[in-house]
Amino acid sequence: MNRQIVQLALVVRDYDEAIEFFVEKLDFDLIEDTRLNSEKRWVVVRPKGSPSLSLLLAKASTPEQLKAIGNQTGGRVFLFLYTDDLWRDHKTMKSRGIHFLEEPRNEPYGTVVVFEDLYGNKWDMIQPA
């Protein structure tokens, strides 16, 4: 059996602001933006050069979903963005207004820094050792 996780849903407030953040601030590719009906779109982004995992930007449509925006994991780090040059990406992202919660630090698995997306979800950016 060959199975993979290829997409994760990220609950967002607004499609266009989320696309702008991921494409302009994090330098992701917009893979798809298809209108499904007057309220719903199928919006997929992923890091440049990433051949597999992508994010489905899912606009909140219920009060319960609205509460989850920015806190999909109860305050824990939610997503892990690997890079081949953490210092380059840290500098670029800071210049684009990304909020970092700490300075980069060395761990046994590599260099890591925590940042927040536009809604407050925590991400680890990691340059593997």
- Residue of 42, 17, 39 lying closest to 31 (CA atoms): 42
Question: DSSP state, 98?
Answer: P
Give the mean model confidence (pLDDT) for residues 61-70: 95
Assigned CATH class of 71-129: alpha beta
pLDDT, tens digit (0-9, with 9 covering 90-100), for 90-128: 999 999 999 999 999 999 999 999 999 999 999 999 999
pLDDT at 17 over 90: yes
Assigned CATH class of 1-69: alpha beta
pLDDT at 49 over 90: no
Give the mean model confidence (pLDDT) for residues 1-9: 90
Report domain extents, the chain: 1-69, 71-129
Give the mean model confidence (pLDDT) for residues 9-23: 98
Residue 80 φ then ψ, to 5°? -125, 115
pLDDT at 2 over 90: no
Long-range contacts of 108-112 (CB under 8 A, 24+ apart): 110/86, 111/86, 111/87, 112/86
